[in-house]
Homo-oligomer: A and B are copies of this chain.
């Protein structure tokens, strides 16, 4: 019996399906049909067919990766069977500590009262962007108006969550720093003086 040269003729849509897989695994938001067509440089009809193939391959019960059509387009998600495992991955036990950068930023904002990013940066001697963003994301500090003057920078203050995490009823319970100054203004002056010295 003649054997065909190729036992399995690759489905011509396979290459396209692989391209779509690649696009979907890199995307951080659902991809619309238009976006997929533009990126793959293909006709809508063929992309639709390839998505159909992928829908069968990445189906609930068959694969841990599931292709889902949502409002914004197409995206991969985890299968329902793996929901518990995913929950364990994302709800990891409480995080122990804060990074040095986060702790310093938090201390400055807590002791000096509303403080802008540039001010935190000046006191710490390094850019404060990521530290501030991280603390905002964790809900430990929040925006509190702007500095005086036109185009004043956004200022931040600590939140009630901060007080809870640090076991304080309010900010007046922060450990006193008499050696640094009697009040926030004096501590602020001292910190600025030191940072100026550091960069002098």
Contact = CB atoms under 8 A, between A and B. Distances in A.
B154 A125 contact: yes
Given A81-B18, A85-B39, A64 B25 contact: yes
Interface residues of A, number: 54
Contact of A146 (B35, B63, B100, B130): B100
A85 to B, nearest CB: 5
Interface stretch (A136-144, A162-170, A182-190): A136-144
17 contacts: A18-B82, A19-B64, A21-B64, A21-B65, A22-B78, A22-B86, A23-B78, A23-B86, A25-B65, A25-B77, A26-B77, A26-B86, A35-B89, A38-B88, A125-B153, A126-B154, A151-B194
